[in-house]
Amino acid sequence: MIIVHHLENSRSQRVLWLLEELGLDYQIKRYERDRKTMLAPPELKRIHPLGKSPVIEDLDADGGRVVAETGAIVEYLVEKADGKLGTPAHRDAALRYRFWLHYAEGSMMPPLLLKLVLGRIPLMGKPAIKRIQPMIDVHLDYVESELAQRPWFAGSDMTAADVMMSFPIEAARSRAGLDKSRPATIAWLDKVHARPAYQAALAKGGPYAYA
């Protein structure tokens, strides 16, 4: 049994979606953000020293196992499901899979997060945001060019790389200018949101502002 320590309106929604796609048994322990700071509550530090979400517990592992960081969790769960939604057989698709799996948090999320933080700083934040948006646009244009060539990030089939990319693209649509001017990306996102597994995860996970 997998326990997902799930923070509202966070990256951990992707983990629920992946678990639904993989057909693995799991339970959810929900956490609310601090209404003043919007940070995770201190209770999460009892699960992992970083006190962040997502983090999972695998009760089936010998002695139990705690796994943190979205990318590491995704790879762990794919392996647990015998490689389902994992690395494609074709080498080019496999390289794309590995790239997007790491690009999501390593390259695309930092400027999106920076824009969110700056948006909460009165006066000084607005001029800084004007410098951040062009950086985000570079990523959005790149994603659009790639999705215009294939239906999913790695190739012809959905993989865990698409799961990883869902949150930054949802965040970009919510607060960073992603709209119908990038039709391939919007079509991909609509396709993701229509998946039964995504809808099931949404129903179980509770409020999620980015759907």
Per-residue pLDDT of the chain (211 residues; tens, 9 = 90+): 999 999 888 899 999 999 999 999 999 999 888 777 777 888 899 999 999 999 999 999 888 899 999 999 999 999 999 999 999 999 999 999 999 999 999 999 999 999 887 777 776 667 777 889 999 999 999 999 999 999 999 999 999 999 999 999 999 999 999 999 999 999 999 999 999 999 999 999 988 988 7
Burial per residue of 21-34, b for 16 or more beta-carbon CB atoms within 10 angstroms, e otherwise: bbebebebeebeee
Identify the pLDDT of residue 38. Answer: 73
Its pTM stands at 0.93
State the burial class of residue 154 (Cβ atoms within 10 Å of its Cβ: 0-12, 13-18, 19+).
buried
Identify the pLDDT of residue 209. Answer: 87
Identify the pLDDT of residue 12. Answer: 94
Query: Considering all CA atoms of the chain, what is the largest pairwise distance in Å, rounded to the nearest integer?
Result: 53
Q: Which residues lie below 8 Å from residue 145, measured CB to CB, with a gap of 6+?
A: none
The DSSP code for 86 is -
For strand 55-58 and strand 65-68, is the pairing parallel, antiparallel, or unpaired?
A: antiparallel
Identify the pLDDT of residue 123. Answer: 65
59-67 long-range Cβ contacts below 8 angstroms, 24+ apart: 59/1, 59/2, 59/3, 60/1, 60/2
